[in-house]
Structure formats: structure tokens, C-alpha cells
Structure 1
Amino acid sequence: MLPWIQLDRATIPGEGGELRLKQRGAEFSIMLGSTELMNSRLSGSEEALATLSCERISGRKDARMLIGGLGMGFTLRAALGALPEDARVTVAELVPAVVDWARGPMAEFHKGTLDDLRVDIHVGDVGALIHSRNATYDAILLDVDNGPDGLTRASNDSLYNHAGLRAAKAALRENGVLAVWSSAPDAAFTRRLRDAGFTAEEIFVRANGKRGGRHVLWMATNR
């Protein structure tokens, strides 16, 4: 078996955690310590995060989507494949090196999506962007941790607590969608979504088509 080769490392702004980009043959992995955040062989649930969100906002003119976390670009690519030409997508990525990786060693996975005229790359905190907007987005997609808690950095907890969910609700247009990716269920998060005024649906999806582990997506509609 081919060995893993570390291509690069990057410090997460603000709290000192470190991401590592690794490659083994044609396979890539982004690690946080001993935890694998994403792998290029497993894209099914990230793509579903986009396609299920797009289904819920289909038919809207000038749709606006915010994606928290660029990662390996699977969510962005799926969103662009489903959204019309008048849509606009903002991708908020906290770690500048992740954008560099998308244009460099992992460019084949991104397939030019960063240069799509519908896309704006915001290098910064998605939470700050959410708090600064009011009735702006038709959909907000969050895939910045392994679930609704601050894994990559502790301050990400503020995305998923009651205050963070109220901010997301305020940033959404009427009947807008908040979609959150997770590696595992979290009943308390479902309750917080409903307490914040969302209609919340918990959906189980495979990591890769009909195979792989089962991940969880929350599709929460702004009532």
C-alpha cells in the first residue's frame, strides 16, 4: 500500500489548531490532529448537503446561498450543478491555505468552480458573516466541523447554540434553509433548531452513494 505523504499544514486562525493536507496516490485527506475531517473518496453526504438544499429553494429568482467551509469543494460543485445562472454563492473559508489547496494540489476535485462567475470566496469566519447579514440568504450550508459543535475551533460552538441559530434565522429570507452536516446524530441540536423557530428535519445519508458510513444532515426551514 502506498504511504501517506504530508503536502502542507496550516494553522487555524484564532485558536492555534492545525490542519494537515495529506496525499496517498490519487487520494487526499485533510486532518485535524488524529481526526480526519474529509477524504477525497467520500463525497456523497457533502454533495447531498447541497442538492437537498437546492431542492428546497428551487424556482426562486436570484437565489443567494452561503456555504460555510470550502473543504474539498464537493458541496460547492454540487450546488453549482443544481443552481440556475442567476444564483449567487458565497463560500466562507476561515483558513486561507484551504483556498490555496483548492487552486493547487486539489484543483482536479474543484474543477474550476472557484472561477465560476456565480461564486464569491470570502476568506474569513462564516459566523461573523452570518451575524452581519439580515434576510440575505435563501440557504445557509454549514460544514465546518464534524457535527454541531466546535471541533475545528471552540468558538465554532457559537454557530450551533441558541444565539447562533437565532442569528442564522435572521440572516435567512422567508422560508430559507439552514443545512448542517454531521458525522453523527445529535438530538439536542434538533431540539435547539426547533426552539429557535425552525422546522427541522434530520436526514441520514451515506458517505459515498450506497456505501460507507451514515452521516446526518439537518434541513431546517425558517418559518
Structure 2
Amino acid sequence: MAVTPWTLLDTASVPGGEGDLRLMRRGSEFSIMTGSTALMNSRMSGSEEALASLSWQAIAGRPRPHMLIGGLGMGFTLRAALDILPADARITVAELVPAVVDWARGPMAEVFGTCLTDPRVSIRLGDVGTMLAGDNLYDAILLDVDNGPEGLTRDSNQQLYSVKGLRRTLSALRAGGVLAVWSSHTSTPFTKRLLTAGFAVTEEKVRARGKKGGERHHIWLAKKPG
């Protein structure tokens, strides 16, 4: 049986000169790649959806919750958040690469559906780190900006996942708020950095395709005391 080849739809430079992203398509399947690394695939959304559902479980019941999602990607975390957050919620999505937003509104519009036009959603272009300046801003901060805190494809993400960066994130959370971090692999050093920064930490193993299985991914749930 002939295998349908991948087609390159578009290429985008990552701000700061840290490589390129490639949007690929094969039939109805999409993939976003950097170099030889597949950052995300439209057939594997389970762990990204779990990032939203586990975060909401940690803060459920809060009035007018404000969630910050670092990384638009293919919108799986955003869509899952919209399905479970109340009507008075706010969701801010930080996306570093403008073309990713263009892809969401263009070739991947069917994947995103009405996510980007939901009145609860605002899209902000720029590094998510710049949106953590301030105190008591968010009830939940969800980070899916790389392959994890140890599997970095962008050198600048090291600062985000450092003890100093994590303490800044802690300040940006409201009391009792949660930082949720997606990763392709577990990391004992990162768990230790979260604890050093002042978080109470639990860890969850999730599957790339949810109930359908797939690769095992990892999510840290780090709560701010209070």
C-alpha cells in the first residue's frame, strides 16, 4: 500500500533567530516540526488536553478564573480548557511565533474550530515569560512551550524553567493557583527546582493519545501555597 507523503505547507522563523518551524500535512494530518523534531501532531492530543483538565481540577470552583496558556500549538489545550472552564473565565494564550496563529486561522482552521473567536479568549504575541511580570495575575499557568524543561529546542526557555524563572511564575500566580508544565519526559532535577522555588508538587503520567494510548508524557502540577 502506497504511503501518502508529507507536504510542506509553510515555514516560519522563530523570533530571536532560534531556528525555523515547518508546518507539514499528510492527508488530514498536520505536524509542526523544528529540524528533525516533531513538536506536535494533530493525531496526538491526549496529553495536551490533560494539561487543561488537570489544571482545572486543581483550581475548580474559583470565580472568574484567569488561565494563561503558554504556546498555542494546534489548540488542543485551548479547546479542552474552553470545554470545561465557566462562562466568566478568561484565557490568555501567549504565542511566540506569529505564523502559528496564522496557521490556526488558515490551513488548520478546521482543527481549531471556533476556539479563536470565543469571547473568553485573547491571543497575545510574544514570549510567555514577558507575561509573568507582576503579582497575583493568574489562577493557572499552563506551559507547553517546548519538549519539556530538559528537552529544550530553544535556549531561551532555560530561563523560564530555572529556579529564578519559576519564582517569578510563583509570584504571578494567585494564592492556591497552579502551574502546569507539559513534558515529553520526566525530570527529577526539574521537580527539585519547582520545590526550591516554593511550589507544592505532584506529577502525572498521561498518554499522547489519551484513552487510545500512545507515548507516555509527563505533567507537573505545582501549586502555590495559600
TM-score normalised according to structure 1 size: 0.98
Gaps of 5+ in 2: none
Partners of 2:18 and 2:74 in 1: CA distance: 21
Superposition CA RMSD, Å: 0.9
Residue identity over aligned pairs, in percent, reads 63
**Which AA in structure 2 matches 1:169?**
L
The total of aligned residue pairs comes to: 222
Partners of 2:82 and 2:58 in 1: CA distance: 15
Alpha-carbon distance, 1:150 to partner: 6.9
Runs of 4+ residues over 3 Å off in structure 1: none
Matches within 5 A, 1:9-24: 9-24=11-26
> What does residue 218 of structure 2 align with?
216
**Which AA in structure 1 matches 2:83?**
G
Matches within 5 A, 1:59-98: 59-98=61-100
SS in 1 for 2:175: strand
TM-score normalised according to structure 2 size: 0.96
> What does residue 112 of structure 1 align with?
114
Partners of 1:207 and 1:61 in 2: CA distance: 31
Partners of 1:59 and 1:218 in 2: CA distance: 21
Gaps of 5+ in 1: none
Q: Is the 8 A contact 1:149 1:156 kept in 2?
A: no
Q: Is the 8 A contact 1:68 1:140 kept in 2?
A: yes
> What does residue 8 of structure 1 align with?
10
Q: Is the 8 A contact 2:150 2:187 kept in 1?
A: no
Matches within 5 A, 1:1-223: 1-130=3-132, 132-149=133-150, 151-210=152-211, 211-223=213-225
**Which AA in structure 2 matches 1:200?**
V
Partners of 1:150 and 1:12 in 2: CA distance: 17
Partners of 1:55 and 1:18 in 2: CA distance: 35
Partners of 1:209 and 1:180 in 2: CA distance: 17
Alpha-carbon distance, 1:55 to partner: 1.1
Partners of 1:134 and 1:150 in 2: CA distance: 29
